């Protein structure tokens, strides 16, 4: 029997859960002074998240989607793209938005039910939070195709949760992005849960990164708790898209320690047993301070 085609998904990690280097660091990460702003951004997001959860639990803030344990993904993504690029976030991307220039006041306005919080003073062309699951992937491909038609050296970066990859919008967008070779980078924030549904009951794919392969899109996997790895891989994918070499689909595994409402006991126990004390906070601290 002949083999028609073979594929592989590369995995990238520079820091292990103890913060030790697993391989030679990329050039930007060899200077601790360059890493401190990334660490500070993660700490700021963690502190904001804790305060926002307290406000929501006490009835002083409306619905709020926590990004606890996922700070390295947003910071790594936002630090790797240019000001003129466009971010299309989903509802847990506070870390990326803050680094892009969205203010804490704007974020609190939005989660308090005031849409003026989406009128960003900083990234004027970034899209607002997408709460419907998976819709922003289609928007990202449309914006990227507009950049291509206008011959603008700009890239769209779209972040989506693992649950969103089970939606039809996702597959339609992948197909068009591959056909058009649109300058777009898709980032899957795989926190192992689609609200209350664990990953193993929503998709049978061995990796989420391989979902782009059928559409002719390169799929890569990276440690989502490693801010150095996230930034490095995103930079490569963004420059690839910017130079006309097509889109990339990234899957990042991260810890999700919080949701909008108090988590069910089953999910809370499963999450703690699976991840323990590992997370972007502890994983990046050693590298940023040594």
Record the tokens describing residue 73, joined without a space. Answer: 């993904």
For residue 24, pLDDT over 70 is answered with: yes
For residue 52, pLDDT over 60 is answered with: yes
What span, in angstroms and rounded, lies between the C-alpha atoms of 243 and 185? 13
Distance of CA 74 to the CA centre of its chain: 5
> Which residues partner with 15 through β-bridges?
21
Of 24-28, 97-101, 264-268, 282-286, least confident by mean pLDDT is 264-268
3-state secondary structure 137-175: HHHHHHHHHHHHHCCCCCCEEEEEEHHHHHCHHHHHHHH
pLDDT of residue 280: 60
The 10 Å Cβ neighbour count of residue 251 is: 25
Percent of the chain, pLDDT > 90?
69
For residue 257, pLDDT over 80 is answered with: no
pTM confidence score? 0.88
pLDDT of residue 251: 78
Question: In this predicted model, what pLDDT tens digit does every residue of 194-214 receive, in sequence order?
Answer: 777 888 888 898 889 999 999
Q: Helix H segments across 6-103? A: 32-57, 71-78, 94-100
pLDDT of residue 198: 81
């Amino acid at each position: 029997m002949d083999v028609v085609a073979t594929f592989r998904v590369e995995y990238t990690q520079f820091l292990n859960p103890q913060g030790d280097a697993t391989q030679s660091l990329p050039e930007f990460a060899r200077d601790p002074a360059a890493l401190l702003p990334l660490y500070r951004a993660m700490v700021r997001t963690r502190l904001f998240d804790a305060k926002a959860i307290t406000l929501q639990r006490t009835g002083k803030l409306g619905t709020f989607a926590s990004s606890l344990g996922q700070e390295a993904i947003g910071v790594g993504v936002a630090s790797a793209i240019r000001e003129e690029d466009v971010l299309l976030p989903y509802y847990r991307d506070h870390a990326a938005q803050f680094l892009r220039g969205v203010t804490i006041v704007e974020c609190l306005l939005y989660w308090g039910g005031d849409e003026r919080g989406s009128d960003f003073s900083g990234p004027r062309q970034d899209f607002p939070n997408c709460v419907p699951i998976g819709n922003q992937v289609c928007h990202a491909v449309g914006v990227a195709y507009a950049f291509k038609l206008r011959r603008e050296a700009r890239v769209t970066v779209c972040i989506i949760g693992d649950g969103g990859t089970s939606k039809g919008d996702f597959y339609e967008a992948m197909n068009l992005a591959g056909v058009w070779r649109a300058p777009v980078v898709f980032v899957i924030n795989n926190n192992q849960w689609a609200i209350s549904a664990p990953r193993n009951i929503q998709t049978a794919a061995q990796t989420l990164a391989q979902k782009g392969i059928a559409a002719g899109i390169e799929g890569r996997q990276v440690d989502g708790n490693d801010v150095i790895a996230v930034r490095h891989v995103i930079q490569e994918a963004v420059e690839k898209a910017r130079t006309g070499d097509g889109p990339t689909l990234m899957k990042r595994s991260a810890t999700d320690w919080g949701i909008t409402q108090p988590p069910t006991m089953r999910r809370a126990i499963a999450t703690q047993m699976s991840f323990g004390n590992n997370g972007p906070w502890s994983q990046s601290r050693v590298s940023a301070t040594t």
